[in-house]
């Protein structure tokens, strides 16, 4: 588990800005002025902001925290606030990406049921029954109305840890990615809210849940703050 955490740890630089544009290298790395490679990058495409560079397909250097960079830019720009989180920034509810009338919720229920599911009608759009074992408690649930589909990495949490700089398309993909979806009890999902593992853990399956959280953070290159890193590492070291 410590190897997984090592992939996520980032070291943030605090060097003052010498210029105002971002250099995107030929390898697709977005170098802000505090990057150690900024002055050495001579062949580049210039961008006005890190957000514009990332939206063009670029990425930050591995050893740099996107969240700190965004915070520093925020302060230097006169404390301009980033847009506030709204659910619609991740799409209008569950998406039906393949157009088969089964949205991401239905597909998550179908995929995780240990028995064939039952549908509400012959069109097979809405799942009403199956057999799901909650990863949060180990309890068996058979009525889909008693299930929430949990975002392992909550949407608001993701927004505050880097997703605010994503494109709308990437945010919608994240919100409907099956790797980030778990069928769980309504009450537990709502008690979790937008918390990460450092603030909330399920009654059981804590190792599985935390490792899954770390995996999603790594896949989507979200940013853990130092206290979050320490708390998560402590959880995984007990597993």
DSSP category for residue 59: B
Beta-sheet strand order (sheet of 44-47): 30-31, 22-25, 44-47
Question: Does residue 80 register a pLDDT over 50?
Answer: no
Which pLDDT band holds residue 82 (cuts at 50, 70, 90)? low
Question: Does residue 156 register a pLDDT over 50?
Answer: yes
What is the b/e burial string over 148-163, where b = at least 16 CB atoms within 10 angstroms of the residue's CB? bbbbbbbbbbbbbbbb
End-to-end CA distance of the chain: 8
Average pLDDT of the chain to the nearest whole number: 83
Determine contact, residues 212/177, Cβ cutoff 8 Å.
Answer: no
pLDDT at 12: 30
What residues does each domain of the chain span? 11-82, 87-239
Hey, what are 39's tokens?
């002055």
Pick from 34-38, 78-82, 187-191: least confident: 78-82
Question: Does residue 176 register a pLDDT over 50?
Answer: yes
Average pLDDT over residues 73-95: 71
pLDDT at 17: 30
SS3 142: strand
pLDDT digits (tens, 9 = 90+) for 17-49: 333 478 888 888 888 877 778 788 888 888 877
Question: Does residue 180 register a pLDDT over 70?
Answer: yes
Q: How far apart are CA 158 and CA 217, in angstroms?
A: 8
């Amino acid at each position: 588990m410590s190897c997984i955490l090592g992939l996520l740890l980032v070291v943030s630089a605090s060097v003052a800005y010498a210029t105002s544009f971002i250099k995107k290298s030929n390898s697709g790395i977005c170098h802000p002025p505090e990057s150690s490679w900024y002055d050495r990058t001579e062949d580049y495409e210039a961008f006005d902001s890190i957000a514009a560079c990332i939206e063009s397909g670029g990425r930050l250097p591995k050893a740099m925290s996107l969240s700190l960079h965004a915070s520093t830019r925020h302060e230097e720009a006169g404390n301009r606030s980033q847009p506030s989180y709204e659910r619609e920034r991740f799409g209008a509810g569950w998406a039906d990406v393949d157009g088969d009338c089964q949205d991401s919720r239905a597909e998550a229920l179908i995929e995780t049921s240990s028995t064939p599911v039952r549908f509400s009608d012959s069109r097979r759009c809405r799942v009403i029954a199956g057999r799901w074992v909650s990863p949060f408690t180990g309890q068996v649930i058979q009525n889909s109305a008693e299930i929430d589909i949990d975002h392992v990495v909550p949407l608001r949490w993701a927004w505050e840890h880097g997703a605010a700089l994503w494109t709308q398309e990437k945010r919608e993909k994240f919100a409907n990615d099956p790797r980030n979806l778990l069928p769980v009890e309504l009450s537990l999902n709502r008690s979790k809210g937008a918390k990460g593992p450092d603030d909330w853990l399920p009654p059981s399956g804590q190792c599985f849940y935390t490792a899954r959280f770390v995996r999603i953070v790594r896949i989507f290159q979200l940013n853990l703050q130092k206290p979050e890193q320490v708390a998560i590492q402590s959880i995984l070291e007990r597993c």
